[in-house]
Amino acid sequence: MATLPTKAHSCVTKKNGIYERFNHEKIIKSCLMVDVPMWAAEKIASQVAAAAYDNISTKEIKMLVYDSLKVIDEKLAERYLAANTLRVRTSRDTIESFDQTKIEKTLVVETGASEELARNIATDVHKELKRLHLEYLTAPIIREIVNTKLVEYGLETLRRRYTRLGIPVYNITNLIQNGSRDNANMIHNPETVHKYVADEALKQYALLHILPTELADAHMGGAIHIHDLEFFAGRPLNCLQHDLRLFIKHGLKVDGTGDHTSVAGPPKHIETLMNHSGEIMLAAQQNMSGGQSMSLWNVFVAPFAAGLPYGKVKQAVQMFIFNLNMAYAARGSQVPFTSINLEFTVPEFLQNEPAYGPEGKLVGVYGDFEDETRALQRAFTETLLTGDSDGKPHLFPNTIYAIRDKVLKGEFEEDLMRVHNLSAKFGTPYFANMLPDYRGNMANYMGCRTSLNDDWTGDWSQDCLRTGNLAFVTLNLPRIAYNSRDDDEIFDYLDSYLHLAEDVLLLRREQAVNCLDNYNLLPFLTQEMDGERYYSIDNATLSFGFVGLNEMLMAHCGEGIENKDARKFGLKVIKYMNQRASELKDETGLRWSVLQTPAESTAYRFAMLDREKFKNKIIVQGDAEASYYTNSSHVPVNSDVLLPEKIKIEEKFHPLTLGGHIFHAFMGESYSQPDSLMSLTNKIARKSDLGFWAYSSALSFCIKCKTLMKGLQDSCATCGEQTEVEWYDRITGYVQQVGRSKSASGGWNPGKMRELMDRKRY
């Protein structure tokens, strides 16, 4: 309890319960603040002092002042009452008197309203606020009422500019208590809560301020999906493929400038380079919205392994992999989303390229380091095979093995077998097929499928390094079919959806240019190396994605993608998208592509929106509570089609989706035979047009006794534990924790969980 002043003066009780002495000067000052003449202010202060009693409240004092002032000047009395009874809790964490002119000024500055219009609206707002009789106003309340008045005046454009962004109290409470299941790569902790709250405000900002109404409505209505809306304003660039050679030559500034962090010179030792490799990708994630990747990694690192015993090389690689999986500091308390593209041998096109080694010095050509390249690949694979100290798989980096013609000719059998042992055990490796006719010397993958090929300028380095997928927008193909009566209408709707996506992508690129060139917002990407900016936006791809081709065909053709005739129409649709991408290359001079969307949440979102909109007309996978569309041009996961036939169906779409694609072979619960998988790899590489694939294994891990099991097990085979068994599987690309057995919670959204249970395994 507060202590009363001991002197015999009248005391005032404030709203917060604190007592203070009656202050004659405060009353004079409050009167002068609303332009009351000095003589009147002194007179009123004397009158109030005479009427005051011990423990009088501040509210009573204000009413005494008001009554006295009303006798002298009624208008001044009303101004005093507004200034002293309407108190505002501001966004600056202060409590201030209400000031109508502040509304007027913000309307002029934020919306471009005229002074007269701003004054009229502010006056109406003031009248409304006085009627509320609130003890305290808040900035959000005032802004809501201003927005209401703007709507009443028919000024919707001004309302959009003036609106306040945020998230309801209920939603924040739910996030704190229950978390979110939109992103399987994030666990529930304070940083994820912080990220989701910030993301919601930035999504609203993009939808209200950056995107025109028709584009925002197309996204919210489910015709298209604009990915990473939360990053549209400040981090509009998606995936990035690094060039490790530049950091070997010049050292590392993780902030891009060296002004705020320590600066490292060119690395002298392999351990330093391992540390730098991880820090590069962690630093770049502060500027990017998607995954970070490094191509030709073991080739570029090879000069640092020269003359070292294999044990030391492997220890350095172990440090790199563990660091990537333990750098728990990316967005929302994630480990950085990373990929490493590995070669089994030094590719022919690199044999005579200058090689950079310790201290950034030239040490010959990369062809001189064949043995070291192979040793690094072996060390990487062996480390992944061992797993962590609990026996769990390392979930990052996504490890991509390039299959070239030379690799399949016998000399690399031991290396290949080791990788397929890894596939059989954990199901984590990916394979990039460099044999098909649509491949050049170089192709690389980022994240869980986005890719670059040396088909833009023909220069492998320019086309595939220091750039990436700038952004992609996904089309809801089933909805096109629901709205169309014939083939012509299908392509009319497809045209309109493509134009929507095109407009979004061009806006996103414009925002990216602003962030790079005008706002100084992406310092890591804009740092100069060899006289050029590190990130090359001119070589970045703008991509059309798609979801639900199978359901589109079922709705339009009566059969799904497994049917030959329906599939022909599906190929026609994707070729049409490629044709538009090609036209845009000529029209804009930019790099456009088509990709199979990694629809972690989009396939679920589209299906649930369409279920509501089209009722019985809808064709979906799953059930009413968890519907989903088949991802991109894949065969449905629950199809009975055999694996060879599935390959024949899906391979047709890989040459048409050079912006990114993947083939999933979901393996059964029994332990896969590495030699059988290796034989399958040989056949896929030599006899199909599949560009990228993985043998995906569902795993269960007992947290209690550290037992790793194949398949999705409800209980531990060793100790019988049921509630502490963690499930793992490949989500849309990468392997990640699904959740726990016999638990309603998990990392995946309901649509992906339903898909997981539907997957047929070979």
In a domain, 206, yes or no: no
CA–CA distance, 615 with 302 (Å, rounded to integer): 59
* pLDDT tens sequence across 366-390: 999 999 999 999 999 999 999 999 9
Does residue 565 register a pLDDT over 80? yes
Q: Please name the residues in contact with 45: beta carbons below 8 A apart, sequence gap of 6 or more.
A: 24, 25, 27, 28, 31
Tell me the residue ranges of DSSP E strands in 299-449: 338-343, 354-356, 362-365, 398-403, 430-433, 443-446
Strand partners, 253: 263
According to DSSP, the β-strands at 240-242 and 430-433 are unpaired
Decide: helix, strand or coil at residue 620.
coil
Q: What is the mean pLDDT of residues 319-324?
A: 95
Q: Is the peptide bond before 393 cis (omega within 30 degrees of 0)?
A: no
Longest dimension (CA), the chain: 106
Q: How confident is the model at residue 3 (pLDDT cuts 50, 70, 90)?
A: very low
Q: In this structure, are 537 and 656 located in the same domain?
A: yes
Mean pLDDT of 4-14: 56
The span from the first CA to the last CA of the chain, in angstroms, equals: 73
Whether 462 is covered by a domain: the verdict is: no
Q: For position 529, which CATH number holds?
A: 3.20.70.20
- Do the domain assignments include residue 256? yes
| Averaged confidence pLDDT in the chain | 90
Question: Is residue 555 within 8 Å of 486, Cβ to Cβ?
Answer: no
- Report the C-alpha gap between 27 and 557 in whole angstroms: 82
Number of domains in the chain: 5
Residues 285, 277: Cα–Cα separation, whole Å: 13
Digit-coded pLDDT (tens) for 85-119: 677 776 555 567 788 899 999 999 989 999 999 99
> Most confidently modeled of 394-398, 493-497, 666-670?
493-497
Across 1-14, average pLDDT? 53
How far is 546 from 564, CA to CA, in rounded Å? 20
Reported as a single tens digit per residue, the pLDDT across 741-762 is: 655 445 677 888 888 888 888 8
Residue 65 and residue 16 share a domain: yes
- Average pLDDT of the residues in 106-134: 89
Whether 588 and 502 have beta carbons less than 8 Å apart is answered as no
Asked, for residue 445, whether it belongs to a domain, the answer is no
Q: Does residue 401 share a domain with residue 387?
A: yes
pLDDT at 531 over 80: yes
In this structure, the answer to whether residues 273 and 322 fall within a common structural domain is yes
Task: Looking at the structure, tell me whether residues 152 and 140 fall in a common domain.
Answer: yes
84 pLDDT higher than 80 = no
Q: Is 521's pLDDT higher than 90?
A: yes
Domain that holds residue 140: 95-162
- Decide if 434 is inside a domain: yes
Lowest-confidence region among 233-247, 575-589, 615-629: 615-629
Same domain, 425 and 565: no
* 654 lies in the same domain as 634: yes
Residue of higher predicted confidence among 170 and 719: 719
Q: Which of 174-178, 239-243, 266-270, 387-391 has the lowest mean pLDDT?
A: 174-178
Instruction: Please report whether residue 754 resides in a domain.
Output: yes
Residue 598 has pLDDT above 60, yes or no: yes
Domain boundary among 635, 661, 687: 661
pLDDT in tens, 400-443: 999 999 999 889 999 999 999 999 999 999 999 999 999 999 99
**712's tokens:** 């999705």
Residues 487 and 346 in one domain: no
Residue-level pLDDT at 688? 98
**Would you list the DSSP string of 417-442?**
HHHHHHHHHT---EEEE--STT--S-
* DSSP 8-state secondary structure symbol assigned to residue 208: I
> Does the pLDDT at position 257 exceed 50?
yes
Tell me what pLDDT residue 692 has.
97
Q: Are residues 246 and 360 in the same domain?
A: yes
Token readout for 335 is 């480990």
Q: pLDDT, tens digit, for every residue of 338-373?
A: 999 999 999 999 999 999 999 999 999 999 999 999
Q: What is d(CA 464, CA 457) in angstroms, rounded to the nearest whole number?
A: 10
Is residue 205 included in any domain, yes or no? no
The pLDDT assigned to 327 comes to: 78
Residue 683: pLDDT band (50, 70, 90) is very high
Q: CA-CA distances (angstroms) from residue 89 to 26, 135, 137?
A: 21, 11, 6
Query: pLDDT at position 181, please?
Result: 58
My answer on whether 382 and 498 are in the same domain is no
- Is residue 198 one of the residues assigned to a domain? no
Q: Is the per-residue pLDDT at 121 higher than 70?
A: yes
Residues 393 and 533 in one domain: no
- Give yes or no: residues 292 and 326 share one domain: yes
Q: Residue 417: what pLDDT? A: 97
pTM of the complete model beyond 0.85 = no
Residue 637 scores a pLDDT above 50 = yes
Report the pLDDT value the prediction gives residue 429, as an integer from 0 to 100.
Answer: 95
Q: Is residue 105 a contact partner of residue 162, using CB atoms and an 8 Å limit? A: no
- The β-bridge partners of 365 are 354
Q: What does the pLDDT look like over 232-251, one tens digit per residue? A: 999 999 999 999 999 999 99
pLDDT for position 5: 39
